[in-house]
Amino acid sequence: MNTTTQPFQEFFDNPILRALTTFARERGVQLYLVGGSVRDLLLGRQTTDIDFTLASNAIRFAKAFAATTRATAIALEENPPTARVIVKSDSTSQPPQLSMDFAQFRATSLTDDLRLRDLTINAMAIALENVGTFTRMTRQQILCRVIDPCGGMKDLKTGMLRFPSERVVIADPVRLLRIYRFAAQLDFELSQEAIDLVTTYRSMLSDVAGERCRDELMKIFHLKKAHPYLQQMEASGLLTQVVPSCRETPRTLTALKSFEENPIPPFLQTYREEIEHYLREEVSVETDRRSLIKLSLLFGDNVADIGKRLRFSRKAGQFMECLISGSQTLKNMIPQLTQKQINHFLRNHASDWWGILLYAAAMYPMDSAVLKQIADTYYEYILPIRKQGRLITGDDLIQEFHLKEGTQIGALLKEIEDRQFDGEIRTRAEALAAVAVLIQKHP
């Protein structure tokens, strides 16, 4: 832990926090900066999500403060009473918004409240008594002001993750997943005591709502380097506990590692900008394509069961199943792949062919030249045709050939579109001539 006074100075110089300190002092409210906010300050990490705790009337206090700053206050929970205040910045030099959560003690005192938190590094607090003093303190003076009943500062310094007690795991077993998420985010290690608690209480995860397990798991997959921590979770039996149908193998972990270390293979670097944009796109709330590709690489054919257990959105489930089936189809086609097959593949997987290519490149031995040929075909051939649009419409068929609305028009338009993408016809005149022949054959 390399604590300096600079992060504290920048943090407490924020005019909103100065206003908050004054507001609390004038009302005789002892307010504490707590949890992840203290942890990130001690680590020198910037944050725009700030947590506070106070002894009573948390929601009322938050709403009153929001009213004085033209901010938005939202009640989040009743037990413990918790509210969020969102302050939008009017300056382009400031973060877009500042989010502050105000939670009431979950115990009779601050110290007891801290002992109920998930990890020792998140069980620290700083009294917000006088903002000015923090900007003038030395490093050692700042550290002396940290309220730390569980030894969180020592664990930050050594890069160690521990639970404050056994009871915090029993109270909320999802913390068994969360500790690995923090290990991945901070590049910390789990203490042996923590690993023992994971092993002892992992079965309790079966009763945790799938959505909560999913959210913790996806935060791990969202990180750049997830595979070492997922491997640790598998070694502790945690992954198979979260998803009983999961049977991880070394091959899938190798594929995941390959994708994380080299998500865009050298032969596709020409399309880096397009691929990065594709991977960043969200399939569902806070779940992007990159994370879902990584999850699919690890769990493979089990993604359908995982989607049900972890309550993924229908769209996310369909995307993962498309990766699996599409990559298998591509693998089977490649030995005798034709240009027409490439065209059909790109059209059948219109929005997700990039994902299939990247998944396949990480999972299977693939001819790099073939994968580049597929990407080139899309941008040099398929995309221009799509931008051009249909050569003829249903109205054209009705006017030119006096056809009636119905399935025949749909079938003719599909046939013409197929021939257009296969390069057999290129102009409106050629399309109409082809329709005339088709009508003669099948009046």
pLDDT of 144 = 73
Could you tell me if 113 and 225 lie in one domain? no
pLDDT tens by residue, 348-395: 998 999 999 999 999 988 888 899 999 999 999 999 998 988 899 999
Domain that holds residue 99: 1-154
Could you tell me if 328 and 375 lie in one domain? yes
Could you tell me if 282 and 340 lie in one domain? yes
Could you tell me if 145 and 20 lie in one domain? yes
Q: In 235-247, which positions are buried (b, 16+ CB within 10 angstroms) versus exposed (e)?
A: ebebbebbbeebe
For residues 112 and 350, the model is more confident at 112
pLDDT tens by residue, 169-220: 999 999 999 999 999 999 999 999 999 999 999 999 988 999 999 999 999 9
Of the residues 369, 388, 407, the one at which a domain ends: 388
Could you tell me if 87 and 64 lie in one domain? yes
Count of domains for the chain: 4
Of the residues 242, 261, 279, the one at which a domain ends: 242
Task: Say if residue 289's pLDDT is above 70.
Answer: yes
The pTM (predicted TM-score) of the whole model is: 0.84
Distance CA 38, CA 3 (A): 11
Which CATH number belongs to the domain containing residue 170 in this structure?
Answer: 1.10.110.30
Of the residues 106, 138, 154, the one at which a domain ends: 154
Residue count of the chain: 443
263-266 own/partner pairs: CB under 8 Å, 24+ apart? 263/290, 263/358, 264/358, 265/361, 265/368, 265/371, 266/368
Q: Among 56-65, 98-107, 296-305, 419-428, whose mean pLDDT is lowest? A: 296-305
Could you tell me if 403 and 384 lie in one domain? no
Q: Is the torsion defined by CA of 241, 243, 246, 249 positive or negative?
A: negative
Task: Say if residue 4's pLDDT is above 60.
Answer: no
Q: Among 95-104, 269-278, 342-351, 401-410, whose mean pLDDT is lowest? A: 95-104
Could you tell me if 48 and 108 lie in one domain? yes
Could you tell me if 195 and 322 lie in one domain? no
pLDDT tens by residue, 300-344: 877 888 888 889 999 999 999 999 999 999 998 887 888 889 999
Could you tell me if 229 and 340 lie in one domain? no
Could you tell me if 303 and 221 lie in one domain? no
Residue 421: name the closest of 358, 360, 350 by CA: 350
pLDDT of 92 = 47
Do the Cβ atoms of 122 and 149 come closer than 8 Å? Answer: no
Which CATH number belongs to the domain containing residue 32 in this structure?
Answer: 3.30.460.10
Q: How far is CA 368 from CA 29, 191, 241, 353, in A?
A: 64, 43, 37, 15
Task: Say if residue 251's pLDDT is above 70.
Answer: no
Could you tell me if 90 and 165 lie in one domain? no
pLDDT of 46 = 78
pLDDT of 74 = 94
Could you tell me if 284 and 362 lie in one domain? yes
